[in-house]
Amino acid sequence: MQAEIQEKRGWITKQDFVEGLALVNMLPGPGAAQLGIFLGHAKGGLVGGTLAGIAFILPAFLIMLALSAAYDALGALAVARHAFYGIGPVVVGIFAAAVSIGSAEPPSVCAFRSSSALPPRCSC
């Protein structure tokens, strides 16, 4: 985000970006959305911050609203139930991919086993 907003487009100074990032890190919640709102506020004031917040939050809200409406309308059908049930492993896979991308080294199975109640099965 910094490369695009601060370096490439020059919408904000590096000092302001770092201050906004420090502020966002102190707040609970999704940092990317809050940083987007901060950058919108820095670029366009109250209106810019409000529009940035809406632009960040509205697409996810509309997707969840559509999925909820689809589940409400089609949830009793066996095919729809199976389709919604199949979404769960996809979400877990996306989360696992994000964790492995975010870490410098993929987590080892041995590290997981040593921290869980499962008996260790490897010689790590």
Domain layout of the chain by residue ranges: 1-74, 77-124
* Global pTM exceeds 0.75: no
> Which pLDDT does position 111 carry in this prediction?
52
**3-state SS record for the chain:** CHHHHHHHCCCCCHHHHHHHHHHHHHCCCCHHHHHHHHHHHHHHHHHHHHHHHHHHHHHHHHHHHHHHHHHHHHCCCHHHHHHHHHHHHHHHHHHHHHHHHHCCCCCCHHHHHHHCCCCCCCCC
> Which pLDDT does position 58 carry in this prediction?
93
Residue 112 confidence (pLDDT) above 60? no
The model's confidence at residue 64, banded by pLDDT at 50, 70 and 90, is very high
